[in-house]
Every structure is written in C-alpha cells, then in structure tokens.
Amino acid sequence: MRFKTIIEPFRIKTVEPIRQTTPEQRAAALRAACYNLFLLKAEDVLIDLLTDSGTGAMSSNQWAGMMRGDESYAGARSFYAFEGTVREITGFKHIIPTHQGRAAERILFRAALHPGDIVPNNTHFDTTRANVEYRDAVALDLPIPEGRQPHLIHPFKGNIDLEALERTLAANPGKVPLAMITVTNNSGGGQPVSLANLRAASALCHRYHVPFFIDACRFAENAWFIKTREPGYADKTPFEIAHEMFSLADGCTMSAKKDGLANIGGFLALNDDDLAQRCKNNLILTEGFVTYGGLAGYDLEAIAVGLREALDEDYLHYRIRSVEYLAEKLAAAGIPMVRPSGGHALYLDAKAWLPHIPQNEFPAWALSCVLYLEGGIRSVEIGSVMFGLQPDGTEKPPANELVRLAFPRRVYTQSHVDYLAEVLLHVNTLKDRIRGVRMVKSPPTLRHFTAEFEPAHGALIAE
C-alpha cells in the first residue's frame, strides 16, 4: 500500500443526520437516563458505539437484493440465493436460516445437548453460554493463558488452549456432544483464532469423535487477521481462508448481524443429516418453515449479498485498520486498553486508567458516562455492572473493568475516528478528576440494561 491514509472503500449515497448536543443537554439526558447509557434515546447520541450487531450500513447491492426478495412461504428464490452463498463460503450441507444467532444456538443445543453435558469453547459469548446452561449443560471456557492478560501482545489471543481441550475430551468420554470455537473471540476482546489452532482443535475433536462447530459471527474479520498475521496466508483471499476455516468444522452458528452485514438474521449450518433433521423439526416449531426460518425473503437476500461483501479485501482492510489506527493514537497517549485491538472493537481498561476509583464504584461504568458527557459517545461497560452480580445474589468483581467501543460496519468515517481520538485524549487530561458511581436501583438479572445510578461523590467529574 503506497499511501497510508485510510479511505472508506465506498462513496455515500444515503445519509442519516447525527445530532450535536451541548454539554448541558448531555448532562440533562444522562440524568434523565439515570446514568445508564442503555436508557438514553439514540437521537441524543452523536457517535453510537454500543454494539456492532445489526447496526451496519447496507450497500446499494443489498438494497437491490431486498427489492428482489421473494416472499413465497416455501421454496422462495431468495432462500436458494441465501443457501447457495452460505454453502459456497462454508461448504456445509444443511443450511438453516434463523432470525438471529441465538436462535441457531438454541436449536442446535436443543437437538445436541443433554443435562450434565460439557461444551468447551475458547470463550462462550453470553447468549451461547445462556443457551448451553438452559439445557443444564456446562459451558466451559478454555482460552489460552495469553488471552486473559489485557496488555499482552499476541497475534492470536483468541486461540483455544489445546492441552486443556484434550484434557477435557479425555476426562469426559460421552459427555462432550460438541466443541466450539468462537471467531473472532468476542468476549475475549474480539481477538482472532489462527488456522493452526482451528486445525489442531478440529483434529483433537475428531480423534475423540466429538463434532467441532464454529461460532462464526466474525468469520470474515478472523480471515483478515489470518491473512495479515499467520505465515503462509498473505497471498490467499479472505474467501479462501474462510473456506479453509469452515472446512475444518462439522457445522457453525452465525449471527448475520455481524459479518453478514445485515440488520437482522442468522443461520445454523451443518453436515450431519440426522442432527440437521432434528434441528429443522425444532425450527418449524418456533422460527418458521425451513426455507425462511423467521426471516423475510428480503432479509435472506440482504444476507446473501452481505456475506460476500464482508469478505472484500478493501472493506476488511479499512475496517480493521480504522480500529487499529484509533488504538495507536490512544496507545501513544498512554491510555490503557486491551492490546492488540480487536477486529470489531476497542476495549479501554478502566481499572488501569482510573486506579483511584474502587471496583465497588464501577470505574468502567463511570468512564462510559464521562465519554458520553464529554463527547456524545455511547460505549458499553464490560465490568462489575455486567458481570459482578452472582446467581446467588452476592457480588464478585470480575478481573477486568473494560469499556468497549464497538464499531458498526461501514457507518462511520475516518473523521469520526479522528473525533473519537480527540475526545479520548481530552478525557485523558481529566482522568484524575473522574469519580465513581453508586447503583441506586438494581434489577436481579441482566442488570446492566436497566440499573439506575448516581454519581457517588456529587459529580462525575470533580471541579
């Protein structure tokens, strides 16, 4: 690449205004939302980095596909377009559409798991874990030790610990109905998994006759990391790399709201005829007939086009590079974060950045409020509010207090990223004055969505 300026590999045909607000308006909005960013109105947010799920911009080709959508109940043309694309990329035999990734998980686990079973994974995403546990099975996280250290640089921090996987398989014959690897490892910081690790995990599983599945939500971003970081893959296309990843597995679950570049949708894909039949029977019960699975025909078209666009090299380069570029600017200012930056998100390390705020005053939560107050940025806390409350009602602070900045696909431009960097560097100058928050209303489950807070010491930022 001759020039280093990152340009968006698209031009803009439709625009949606975002609204500037004054600091006073943001302070009032934050108070009205009880210091919970989930309770803000989206129109009061300038740059929304709450999630990369379903928030991407569709292309003109996807919209054209939507117009072609065939809404026939059974055997729609749009289903065959979708099925053909998924099969071409993954090589799997049975392609089952679902309304989201979690529906694919529920259907697979309903058919494959029994109470007391164990499902190993590099790290289960929270809906995956919840769906395993709903079957009274154990969701076992086995990331490599490097994956647990936020500041350690490693090219494939998403890898599964192969020795731990082998120990689990050897010690539990008949109790592991399937093993999974999540690419990229979302809960572990959006970190990639190498093809070498996928290959070794696949071989291990097959030696123990255990089916191997991929949680494929960010398969294209993972393929890009393999291309740029794993020896031997620089000359392969993301499509070829993705195909090789899937060739090692017996099936996958997918949320099309991520690397499907769609606003809704997902699928389950697998080779086993008998398991597929049981999944399809269950699909009809809650999602719909096997050729639409809870989606409109036009959604299937949008996904079919989106999956191919997600594998475009220029797009992947722009996407991964934008996040990395922001990380470089913050690193240069000494702002602590999970390194290296992930594919879809950057994770600020609030515990290291704001060491004066005790964990029981929710440092990452307070930081996310300050990012909104100062710059109109919406992020999400991944710390004590999200994970501190145990099922028995006690508090157990997690190891890390992180603030995730997740990047919607194709939505923000280089100047938005420059703005983010400027706000974060400004917040860095205030850091010693940032104060913690107190939880004043705490629902018993998934409390981060609705809990209410107030500043613990009068103001979020001391005079």
Q: Any idea what DSSP says for residue 359? A: G
110, 135, 227, 257: which one contacts ligand PLP (CB under 6 A)? 257
Stretch that binds ligand PLP, among 123-131, 155-163, 192-200, 290-298 (CB under 6 A): 123-131
User: Whole-number minimum distance, CB 22 to ligand PLP, in Å?
Assistant: 34
- Give the Cα separation of 403 and 392 in Å (integer): 26
Site for ligand PLP in 303-342 (CB under 6 A): none
- Give the Cα separation of 13 and 407 in Å (integer): 20
Q: Is 125 in the site for ligand PLP (CB under 6 A)?
A: yes
Distances (CA, A) of 404 to 121, 294, 313, 344: 22, 30, 25, 10
Q: Provide the token pair at 264.
A: 């809704």
**DSSP helix, strand, coil percent of the chain (3-state; round to 5):** 45, 15, 40
Where is 59: in which H helix or E strand? Answer: none
Site for ligand PLP in 43-72 (CB under 6 A): 53
Q: Give the interface size with ligand PLP as a residue count (CB under 6 A).
A: 15
Of 52 and 401, CB closest to ligand PLP: 52
Decide if 208 contacts 172 (C-beta within 8 A). Answer: no
User: Whole-number minimum distance, CB 181 to ligand PLP, in Å?
Assistant: 10
**71: three-class secondary structure by DSSP:** coil
Decide if 107 contacts 101 (C-beta within 8 A). Answer: no
Q: Any idea what DSSP says for residue 133? A: H
User: Whole-number minimum distance, CB 215 to ligand PLP, in Å?
Assistant: 5
Q: Is 436 exposed, middle or buried (0-12, 13-18, 19+ CB in 10 A)?
A: buried
User: Whole-number minimum distance, CB 99 to ligand PLP, in Å?
Assistant: 8
Of 70 and 215, CB closest to ligand PLP: 215
Site for ligand PLP in 179-198 (CB under 6 A): 182, 186
Interface characters, 83-122, with ligand PLP (x: CB under 6 A): -----------------xxx--------------------
- Give the Cα separation of 122 and 180 in Å (integer): 7
- Give the Cα separation of 224 and 155 in Å (integer): 12
User: Whole-number minimum distance, CB 427 to ligand PLP, in Å?
Assistant: 27
How many Cβ atoms are within 10 Å of 247's Cβ, its own excluded?
13
Of 121 and 434, CB closest to ligand PLP: 121
Site for ligand PLP in 145-184 (CB under 6 A): 182
Of 100 and 197, CB closest to ligand PLP: 100
User: Whole-number minimum distance, CB 32 to ligand PLP, in Å?
Assistant: 28
Q: Is 127 in the site for ligand PLP (CB under 6 A)?
A: yes
Q: Is 128 in the site for ligand PLP (CB under 6 A)?
A: yes
- Give the Cα separation of 260 and 101 in Å (integer): 11
Of 70 and 105, CB closest to ligand PLP: 105
- Give the Cα separation of 299 and 68 in Å (integer): 10
Give me the residues paired with residue 143 across strands: 160
Site for ligand PLP in 201-230 (CB under 6 A): 215, 217
User: Whole-number minimum distance, CB 103 to ligand PLP, in Å?
Assistant: 7
- Binding-site ranges for ligand PLP (CB under 6 A): 53, 100-102, 125, 127-128, 182, 186, 215, 217, 255, 257-258, 266
